[in-house]
Amino acid sequence: LVLMFAIMASGYNVMLGWPNLLVFCPAALAVVGGVVSSLLAIEMGLPFILTLLIGGVVAALVGGAVSAGAIVIGSNFEIIIATLAFEFVVFYALSSWELVGPTGISGMPDPSLGALVFTSQIEVYVFLLVALTGVTFLVAAFDSSLSGTLSIATGEDEDLLRAIGYNPATYKLISVVLGAFILGIGGGIYAHVNGLITPGAFTLDRTVLLLVITVLGGLRTVYG
C-alpha cells in the first residue's frame, strides 16, 4: 500500500507542486485509470502493461480537459471548484454505470510482464518497487527539463514568464497532464494488485490522503 500510494502521490505532486496549482481531483483521476485498465483487461483480454498505459493516457486526457478551462482563466478558485466538482461527478457516474456500479470491478488479472505473472507478496512488492523507481526517474527527468523549470516559473511569476515569450497556461497544463498520467497508472496498479476497484474507495477522503502524503513528503521534491 505504501508503494502504491507513493506512485499516486508522485503524480499528484507534479500537478500540485511544480505549477503551484490547487487541483483537487487526484482520486478521481486514479479511479478513471484503474477502471479503464480493469475493463480493458477483463472485457478485451489486453496485456497488463498495455491496459496500464491506456488507463494512464485516458486519465491524462480527462485531467487535461477538466483543468484546461480553469487554467486559462488563471484563478485558483476556479481550479479548486472545477476539479472538486469533477471528483464528485466521477464518483456518481461510475456508481451509476452498470459495468462498474457501487460494488466496483473485480476479477482483473494479476500484474504481469509477458509470461511473468506476479502473484506472491514478494513478487508484487518487487514489481511495485520497480514501478515506483520508474515513476521517480520520470518525475526527476521532468524536474530537470525545460518544461519542468517553466512549470515552476508559472507558480513564481507568470508576468515575467509571459514577458520572455512563454505561455504559463501551456506549462501548467503539461504538469497536470503528466501528473494525471502517473495517477492513472497508479490507479491501474492498485486495481490489479488488489483484484478490486470501487468508486467508493476513491472519493474526497482519498484525495485528502494524497494531499497529506504530498505535503509531508515535500511539495516539488522528487524523493519526498
Q: What is the pLDDT of residues 104-144, one digit of tens each?
A: 999 999 999 988 999 999 999 999 999 999 999 999 999 99
Inter-CA distances, 135 with 4, 8, 9, 89, 211, Å: 11, 9, 11, 28, 18
DSSP state of 17: T
- What pLDDT score does 69 carry? 74
- What pLDDT score does 74 carry? 66
- What pLDDT score does 196 carry? 94
Mean pLDDT of 155-173: 89
pLDDT at residue 42 is higher than 70 = yes
pLDDT at residue 72 is higher than 80 = no
- What pLDDT score does 114 carry? 84
**Cell matching residue 160:** 515575467
Mean pLDDT of 75-95: 89
pLDDT at residue 73 is higher than 80 = no
HSE (side-chain half, CA atoms, 13 Å) at 62: 26
Query: Minimal CA–CA distance to 60: which of 223, 175, 212, 194?
Result: 175
Going by C-beta distance under 8 Å and a sequence separation of 6 or more, which residues neighbour residue 166?
Answer: 150, 153
